[in-house]
Chains A and B, each alone.
Chain A
């Protein structure tokens, strides 16, 4: 590798000034001439047949330009299992499901028109508990035609239907070795049940889209999403448009965390725009985000471990039950991928996992930062602490003893590569151990500390395409379609481009996320952009440099392998050189070549897995690893919890921009505190009881320790296939927070919490139980 001037540097984010001055544009800010506003009517029942919808009065209302119902939407459905129409047709399966949509010249007019739509329902019995729903004879079968539904083409469906469990969307299995035998051979078997509730992503910018009809009969749709091309693919299908007639654009995204993966919002905007021939803007209100914003599913996890006296893990068996809700969303895929998180940290020779995504009449669910890993890490890391306690071992020691190591084959059959878990554990426990003493037990406050590990997989078999155009002024125009959702991908890609051309960051211009001009990107998901788009960018830079060197080699009359590009100039050994601008004609054209445009395509590894055992050579592209350490004070009279210190250390391979990595870790810790202590969507027979930030609380700055008590550390273990050895980080930073907090609380009070969130009340109940049993 050449001397790198830009890699590992804390370049200020390209969008920093725009964002802090409020100039950055988000699609929710866009307003187009003649624009209409859309609103949808939602089902008041969690499960009902639609007998009749009468929109006559609404269509006549002042300002109303278009009304659509399930009759107007295409036969094409959405979901990983194609089970949902954009607007319900003959059945609603959750309270809040959209049954009709209105476009009017004012938001108020659209809202009023909704009240004029008459819907006749016949209520059906509902099922709201996943374990009840998955029984062989459930009270109601939510999708009687489940087995006839089509499946999304990608990625490989690695699961099965369970005909004896008619509400199970999918059953995913993993098997390695002989767990039953290993449990018999083990010195100790420990089994626990854990729970993680449904949660909202709470992105600041709500879900929104604006669709504009184009003269050719097509549409341009601006969408707040993190899946630009995946949305384009599916919207073509849902709107009946050929690829050439749908342009999808994303501006900055005001947070996503997986939540902006639902197609209903842009599809409804598109249908209404086509029908009214006017631009249509559709913005969800915050309560609608809670109802149909692809919340994380609630997951119940049973973990059974067989252990030798010395702490060696012999076998692990896991059973995961996911309350996917009325439609499968992406939760069918979460049920599959949760297995990756379950095997990524520890060496478990005998492993079995059964994961069920279950249909209930709760709202449908989708991806949430972690995509199954948050849940399994919560259970496994809590379990590791309990094992350590039973064996009177140091929780650090039992982890170190069982860690996967470079070259070891994991429980899915993949050879472990690039694992910095041990280094992260060492660095963060050093930090927690060496910091000056903080308040000790005082009055009713008890101090405790906890550490947990985590891993975050990045999915296999995905593709990226990046273009690099070189301007006559030697500026590199990087065209990519990764969504800038706040993670800093624009800055990271710009750093890589500047590095490849040995130039400064201000010579890079980013053009992104417009399917009319920027190339294919699979999706900004699974912490995959630095690695995948980064690799594609390096190839695009190589291509562009080759084009430059070929032209320059003729002009300089020197072999191209003797040339070097630096700061917009091509240098030859000796004293000959030519500026990039001089490769262009005075008209701004490269004779014989036209533009200098490099193209890079990167396809991540893809290997088939065995559908019965989940075994495969490369089910996962790479793992990021990390550890979080927490210190808490717990009030034993009120159950109050104060996080007095929190720190994380991560291995994301080569950090391209360490400051951005720290930002991800700090954000992840904040979000992790929310999930650990506060966040839970509460349902009552399908009714969401806390669909607002008044009733669903996310942490604010006062719930986070002060600056000097927070740290983000880096322990890079390079990945052989990553750009400069980089992997990904975004999601992982959240995962170890909840188990670390739970351990710290146990350490402080002796109360072991297995069900998140850890409320004051749960701690007090636990303390009362301890008192009454002692």
Chain B
């Protein structure tokens, strides 16, 4: 039994630039942690899962708190943008509804106003709500380093539960979401584990782009949350749909394939069997909803 304790002592470092932040993190490799909203980190510290000597705050860096949009470069979300800001953002609601919706499902207003999308990604919880719709949109992440920056597909960020791919001195700076082609529908459906406000037992994001003339799927992304060590793409189900005209049978088959690809665990919130079954149900729902949007657009 790990007990809750008082917050351990730490020093707070407030960098003047992203480069300075990266250098500081590199210099104190194991002793420093980035604090964004703190909604996960401070709890981990109270449970002594981590006891960093330094917390590096990024609030002084305005470039990390911006949301911008251009028809060419798409949506750019700074890592320090909060879930509430994404949920309320006009351009995100207009053009990336499933991302806004996913962020509206995170925690409660207090959590959404503190917790950031960058934190949600870096914390690498399998159940992170913002991640599946971002992955379905083929989002990339810009990672700043002390020497150089790099850009990765978002799905490559995740190594395992609570484990991301950042190396010493690296900071997730930005998430970029490309504009989807016309005739695209994107949705996120989730099932709270127990109460109405609870961690997702299963979350499914779907993005479908249709060929307007044939009605066949040009591009399908299916991303499953909370049912594997990391958020995962359901590639077999995607392959079954790509190039095909989706009817009821095909959707049911794809949903079964997704359930087959999920590798959930049993815990106090939900069992393996139930989660697996819910992947099938929710994938079916998400595919139907996404198709309806794609057909209407």
Contact = CB atoms under 8 A, between A and B. Distances in A.
A687 B2 CA distance: 11
Given A697-B195, A700-B195, A111 B268 contact: no
A678 B270 CA distance: 12
A640 B191 contact: yes
B194 interface: yes
B281 A637 contact: yes
Contacts of B274: 639, 760-761, 764
Interface-central residue, B3, B198, B277, by most chain A CB under 10 Å: B3
B195 A689 contact: no
Nearest to B108: A700
Interface string B186-212: 000001011111110000000000000
A687 B3 CA distance: 12
B4 A285 contact: yes
Contact of A42 (B3, B197, B278, B282): B3
Interface residues of B, number: 25
17 contacts: A42-B1, A42-B3, A96-B1, A285-B3, A287-B1, A287-B3, A288-B3, A695-B269, A697-B194, A697-B198, A702-B195, A702-B196, A702-B197, A703-B196, A760-B191, A761-B273, A761-B274
Which of A44, A677, A697 has the most chain B CB within a 10 Å cutoff? Answer: A697
B6 interface: yes
A570 to B, nearest CB: 57
Interface in B249-294: 268-271, 273-274, 277-278, 281-282
Interface in A33-91: 42, 44
B5 interface: yes
Given A108-B6, A703-B195, 16 more contacts: A42-B1, A95-B1, A108-B9, A111-B5, A285-B5, A287-B4, A288-B3, A291-B1, A637-B281, A677-B194, A691-B1, A702-B195, A702-B197, A703-B196, A759-B194, A764-B277
A700 B268 contact: no
A286 B47 CA distance: 12
Interface in A675-699: 677-678, 682, 687-692, 694-695, 697-699
A706 interface: no
A700 B6 contact: no
Interface in B1-42: 1, 3-6, 8-9
A638 interface: yes
A-B complex: 5 closest residue pairs judged by Cβ atoms: A702-B196, A761-B274, A697-B194, A697-B195, A285-B4
Contacts of A689: 268
Nearest to A696: B268
A637 B288 CA distance: 15
Main secondary structure of the interface of B (DSSP, over half): loop
Nearest to B191: A638
A584 B9 CA distance: 62
A243 to B, nearest CB: 36
A520 B37 CA distance: 50
B268 A699 contact: no
Contacts of A702: 195-197
Contact of A699 (B4, B9, B195, B271): B195
Contacts of B278: 638
A702 B282 CA distance: 21
Contacts, number: 65
A414 interface: no
Contacts of B3: 42, 285, 287-288
Contact of A678 (B1, B195, B199): B195
A703 B192 CA distance: 12
A675 to B, nearest CB: 13
Interface string A85-103: 0000000000110000000
A648 to B, nearest CB: 21
Contacts of A285: 3-5
A700 B268 CA distance: 19
Contacts of A291: 1
A107 interface: yes
Nearest to A639: B274
A291 B278 CA distance: 33
B196 A700 contact: yes
Interface string B214-242: 00000000000000000000000000000
A688 B269 CA distance: 14
B271 A678 contact: no
Contacts of B270: 761
Nearest to A703: B196
Contacts of A698: 195
A107, A288, A694, A760: residue with the most chain B Cβ atoms closer than 10 Å? A760
A44 B197 contact: no
Interface in A344-359: none
A417 B9 CA distance: 63
Contacts of A703: 195-196
B195 A761 contact: no
Contacts of B268: 682, 689-690, 695
A698 B198 CA distance: 10
A761 B281 contact: no
A687 B1 contact: yes
Nearest to B284: A637
Nearest to A679: B194
Contacts of A678: 194-195
Contacts of B194: 677-678, 697, 759
B5 to A, nearest CB: 5
A95, A637, A640, most chain B CB atoms within 10 A: A637
A767 to B, nearest CB: 11
B281 A700 contact: no
Nearest to B198: A697
A636 to B, nearest CB: 10
A639 B271 CA distance: 13
Contacts of A108: 6, 8-9
Nearest to B8: A108
Contacts of A691: 1
B195 A107 contact: no
Interface string A139-181: 0000000000000000000000000000000000000000000
B290 to A, nearest CB: 17
A706 to B, nearest CB: 13
A638 B281 contact: yes
Contacts of A95: 1
Contact of A700 (B1, B197, B277): B197
Contacts of B197: 700, 702
B145 to A, nearest CB: 33
A286 to B, nearest CB: 7
A242 B10 CA distance: 47
A612 to B, nearest CB: 43
Nearest to A704: B196
Interface string A633-659: 000011110000000000000000000
A26 to B, nearest CB: 20
Nearest to A291: B1
B6 A761 contact: no
B6 A111 contact: yes
Nearest to A37: B6
Contacts of B198: 697
A286 B5 CA distance: 10
A535 to B, nearest CB: 41
A597 B134 CA distance: 73
B271 A761 contact: yes
A288 B199 CA distance: 23
A674 to B, nearest CB: 8
Contacts of B196: 699-700, 702-703
Nearest to A695: B268
A386 B91 CA distance: 55
B62 to A, nearest CB: 32
B86 to A, nearest CB: 21
B259 to A, nearest CB: 13
A28 to B, nearest CB: 15
Contacts of B269: 695
Contacts of A695: 268-269
A614 B189 CA distance: 56
